[in-house]
Amino acid sequence: MELTFLGTGAGRPSRQRNVTSMALTLPPPRCSAWLFDCGEATQHQLMRTPIKMSRIEAVFITHLHGDHVNGLPGLLSSRSYHPGAGPLRLFGPAGIKAYLEAVFSATYSHLDYELIVTELAEGVIYEDDDYSVEAYPLQHRVPCWGYRVTEKDRPGALDAEKARSLGVPFGPLLGQLKNGRDVRLPDGRFVRSTDVTAPDRKGRIISILGDTVPCGTIARLAADADLLVHEATFQGDMAEKAAAYGHSTTLQAAEAARMAGAKRLYMTHFSSRYREEDMDRLVAEARTLFPEAYAGSDLLSVAVTRPGEQPDGSCWA
C-alpha cells in the first residue's frame, strides 16, 4: 500500500507545489488506485507517476473549494480515452453531482464509463471484502469531510508443512484452514486453524483529512492510524490567522496526531509563502510535539507497511 502526493500546496499552484490531490495505491493483486481530492492539473501530475488512469476505481473529494476539485471534470473526461477504464465511484459533499452535471452540460462532455456518485453522510460510505471507508465532517469555511480507510484483517500464512505433519491431506481442507476455519480429518481428528496458521495480519489504517481547524471529529478519523494526512497551512505561531481562514498550523496537526495515537503524520496543504528551504523548520516545529511528523511534497510516495513486514510488491513495474 502506497500513498503518492500529487499536490501539496494551498489555494493556488506554485512552481514548487501543485494544489491538493493524492493517490492511494492498493496492494497486489488488486493493484487499483483511489484518488483523494483533484485540484487543477491533477491529471498532469498523474502522468509523472506510474499510476494508470484506467486503474483509478474511486475518487474521494473532501470539499468543493476549487483547489480541491477544479481538476475533476478534466480527469473524468480524459479517463474515457484510456482502454480498460471500468466504472468509477465518486464520493463527495452535497453539490458535487450538480457541479459535474453543470460542467459536463456546458462543455458537451460525455463519459464512456459508468460514474457512480455518492453524496456524503456520516459513517461508513463504502465497504468491500478488503476495505471499508468512513467519512466524518470537519470544520472549515464550507462543508468539508475527512476519510478513514481501514484495511480488513487478513488470515495469517498457512504452515503447510505443519499441516501435513498433522495428517491434513492436500485439497479443500488446507484451503479451509488457510481461511481461518477449523476442520475434521477423515480419521475423525480435529485440527484448528490456529494450530497451523500464523496470527492474523492486522489491517492498515490511513486517515486523510480535508481543510479544517482543530475539531472533535479528527480524533475519530485518525485514531490509531498508521498514516495520518493533515493540512498544515501555516506555521505554529499563526494559529489566529489559520483559524480566520478555516485552517490548521503545523503544531495543531502534530497535536492531533499525538492525541489520536497515529503512527506517522504527513503534513500537506502548505501556504505558498513557504518554500522548500522552509520545510525543515516546519517539520522540526511539528516534531516538538510528534516525533514522527513529515512534510509531504509533490510526487513523494510513502509506503504504508504492517509492523515487521516489507512493502507490498509493485503494481506498476
* Tens of pLDDT, residues 105-126: 999 999 999 999 999 999 999 9
Per-position DSSP letters for 49-66, written without gaps between them:
SS--GGGEEEEE-----H
Residue 63 is assigned to a ligand binding site: yes
Residue type, 259: M
User: How big is the CA angle at 147 (ends 146 and 148), to the nearest 5 degrees?
Assistant: 130
pLDDT at 317: 62
Contact 219, 225 (CB under 8 A): no
User: Do the Cβ atoms of 84 and 56 come closer than 8 Å?
Assistant: no
302 contacts 3 by C-beta, under 8 angstroms: yes
CA distances from 163 to 114, 158, 176, 189, 281 (A): 46, 8, 12, 13, 55
Length of the chain: 317
Q: What is the pTM (predicted TM-score) of this model?
A: 0.90
Here the cell at position 127 is 465497504
Neighbours of 159 (CB within 10 A): 16
pLDDT of residue 168: 85
140 is in an annotated binding site: yes
pLDDT for 165 equals 85
List the 56-60 sheet strands across, edge first: 115-119, 88-92, 56-60, 33-38, 21-25, 2-7, 301-303
67 is in an annotated binding site: yes
Residue 100: in which H helix or E strand, if any?
helix 96-107
Residue 251's SS3 state is: helix
Q: Which fold has domain 2-153+205-303?
A: Metallo-beta-lactamase; Chain A (3.60.15)
Specify burial of residue 83 (Cβ count, 10 A radius: 0-12, 13-18, 19+).
exposed
Annotation marks residue 67 as catalytic: yes
For CA atoms 16, 17, 18, 23, the dihedral sign is positive
What is the model's pLDDT at position 157?
77
To the question of whether residue 211 is assigned a binding role by annotation, the answer is yes
Q: Tell me the chain's radius of gyration from C-alpha atoms.
A: 22
Q: In the chain, which residues have pLDDT < 70?
A: 316-317
Please indicate if the annotation marks 278 as binding a ligand. no
- Grid cell, residue 11, equals 489555494
The residues spanned by each domain of the chain are 2-153+205-303, 160-196
Q: Which of 37, 67, 226, 298 is catalytic?
A: 67
pLDDT for the residue 241: 97
Pairing status of strand 88-92 against strand 56-60: parallel
